[in-house]
Amino acid sequence: MSPLLKTNHIHIIGAGLAGCEATFQLTKRGFEVILYDMKPQETSAAHHSRTLAEIVCSNSFGSINTNESATASGLLKAEMMLMDCELLKIAQQVAVPAGKALAVDREAFTQTVTEQVKANPKVTFICKNMANLPDDAWVLIATGPMTSTELSESIAQLLKREQLYFFDAAAPIISKDSINFDTAFYQDRYDAGLEGKKEQNGSYINCPLNKEQYEALVDILINGEKTELKSFETESASFFESCMPVEVMASRGIQTLRYGPMKPVGLTDPRTGRWPYAVVQLRQDNAEGTLYNMVGFQTNLKWNVQKQMIQMIPGLEEANVVRYGVMHRNTYIHSPEVLKPTLQLKEYPKILLAGQLTGTEGYTESVATGMMAALNIARLCNHMEPIVPPQETMLGSLLRYITRPEAMHQNFQPINSNWGILPELPEGAYKRKDKKTRNKLYVERSRVKLLEWIATAEESLISV
């Protein structure tokens, strides 16, 4: 136990991505954690497994930066690795092939995290659907987008305001042995040329569609029966762009999917030697490579319609669907009004929040805020000022963005890492259209600033 903590423990509610990362960060700094989760006794409508840190939809933590290309999500992960993020280390241990993305075997990931949490002598795990917050204690709330109704109400009461809701959806998963490889082919975009073979020749499985097949698919997506939303859900439903149901995307225009998840460019059908009209891509979902998820096909279609829709896709005529797509409510607070960039509640500085509940969006972002909240709890308990990474870092910008005062009275929408929230580079640092150089400069700047910050932040709180 930390000497300054005396009899206090840190209470973490929610053993998901943010809660588990925070638990690891605090215990490795000597703190004792009481970790609550309603699983496995109860699960939300989006959670299925009995294990902790479940990844509920795609098995990808997003792209990784290489010397050739950089993305905003890749930058966030690079920063998290510099800050010794524990869950990303586990993700790397159980990674599956996914081109330039960090995708994991979901079972191995969640199993490893659960085993490490439960074997940790500094963690007391309590299986409970928490309706209220512990009194007069350091508390981290990390109950995620599916926070139970009772706790949602308690948080709303505490914050003296209504909570906000939005919706997103999970994609179907298919067993590989039911895919017809006379039609489907392995290939990563642009990685294989005309000589593309039907055998493993990339990480993704591609199902090629001609114009007629594509239009029939769009038609069933738009007109197929959907799961009905309850009235309060319909009133407030809005879709987050990066996890938008495929049918909503299809309804935006006949060509929308061909410029989105069904984009054919760079994928050469070995049977024709040409790019198909459209493509459905499948990404490996487990280490054994027996399961594949349909990239971008998060959906709210009724299960029987999903089956029909999937079997219309060339190569998937006899697909065995091991998990159908689902759609759920998502819960988050109005962070600009109630949260500080340090992730403390403005009115209750001993209560911190992390994960999707704060209005960041995505697995990686949830882990990142869990890590940051834990660092600040550790500092506060040791009578140090809480900190926020420099603005030039993706994490620093994210924390400032979700708590920006300008959004205090605006409709607040969740956000994931993106270049647009970073402070601009000096005038003339790159040619206006040269995004590749711009991104590289952002990455270099972040690294310099973050290393300076780590060096000046009091020892033991950044590195162990």
Ligand X SMILES: Cc1cc2nc3c(=O)[nH]c(=O)nc-3n(C[C@H](O)[C@H](O)[C@H](O)COP(=O)(O)OP(=O)(O)OC[C@H]3O[C@@H](n4cnc5c(N)ncnc54)[C@H](O)[C@@H]3O)c2cc1C
Q: Which is nearer to ligand X, 39 or 176 (CB)?
A: 39
Q: Where are the beta strands (DSSP E) in 326-393?
A: 327-332, 351-353
Name the residue with the smallest CB distance to ligand X. 16
Q: Does 88 bind ligand X (CB under 6 A)?
A: no
Tell the smallest beta-carbon distance from residue 458 to ligand X (Å): 27
Report yes or no: 346 and 339 within 8 Å, Cβ to Cβ: yes
Stretch that binds ligand X, among 103-111, 267-275, 349-357, 389-397 (CB under 6 A): 349-357
Q: Does 319 bind ligand X (CB under 6 A)?
A: no
Pairing of strands 33-37, 123-127: parallel
Tell the smallest beta-carbon distance from residue 73 to ligand X (Å): 9
Stretch that binds ligand X, among 27-35, 147-155, 419-427, 437-445 (CB under 6 A): 147-155
Q: Does 11 bind ligand X (CB under 6 A)?
A: no
User: Which of 356, 397, 403, 417 is close enough to bind ligand X by CB under 6 A?
Assistant: 356
Tell the smallest beta-carbon distance from residue 101 to ligand X (Å): 11
User: Which of 74, 296, 355, 389 is close enough to bind ligand X by CB under 6 A?
Assistant: 355
Binding mask 94-133 for ligand X (x = CB under 6 A): -----------------------------------xx---
Tell the smallest beta-carbon distance from residue 271 to ligand X (Å): 31
Q: Where are the beta strands (DSSP E) in 29-110?
A: 33-37, 60-63, 95-96, 101-104
Token pair listed for 129: 């659907």
Residues found in the chain: 464
Tell the smallest beta-carbon distance from residue 297 to ligand X (Å): 11
List the interface residues with ligand X, window 359-398 (CB under 6 A): 362-363, 366
| Contacts for 264 with CB less than 8 Å, ≥ 6 apart | 208, 258, 275, 276, 277, 278, 279
Q: Does 151 bind ligand X (CB under 6 A)?
A: yes
Stretch that binds ligand X, among 144-152, 300-308, 340-348, 391-399 (CB under 6 A): 144-152
Q: Which is nearer to ligand X, 31 or 332 (CB)?
A: 332
Interhelix angle 363-381/86-93, rounded to 10 degrees, is: 140
| Contacts for 11 with CB less than 8 Å, ≥ 6 apart | 33, 34, 36, 133, 134, 137, 138, 139, 140
Report yes or no: 415 and 421 within 8 Å, Cβ to Cβ: yes
Q: Does 145 bind ligand X (CB under 6 A)?
A: yes
Which is nearest to 141 in space by CA: 331, 355, 347?
355
Q: Does 147 bind ligand X (CB under 6 A)?
A: yes
Which is nearest to 332 in space by CA: 411, 393, 273, 277?
411
The Cα 367–Cα 347 span in angstroms is: 24
The b/e string for 135-163 (b: 16+ C-beta within 10 A; e otherwise) is eeebbbbbbbbbbbeebbebbeebbeeee
The Cα 377–Cα 343 span in angstroms is: 10
Report yes or no: 46 and 34 within 8 Å, Cβ to Cβ: no
Tell the smallest beta-carbon distance from residue 27 to ligand X (Å): 17
Q: Which is nearer to ligand X, 363 or 442 (CB)?
A: 363
Q: Does 25 bind ligand X (CB under 6 A)?
A: no
Q: Which is nearer to ligand X, 185 or 363 (CB)?
A: 363
Positions in the binding site for ligand X (CB under 6 A): 13-19, 36-39, 44, 46-47, 56-58, 129-130, 142-148, 151, 168, 170, 243, 328, 330, 355-357, 362-363, 366
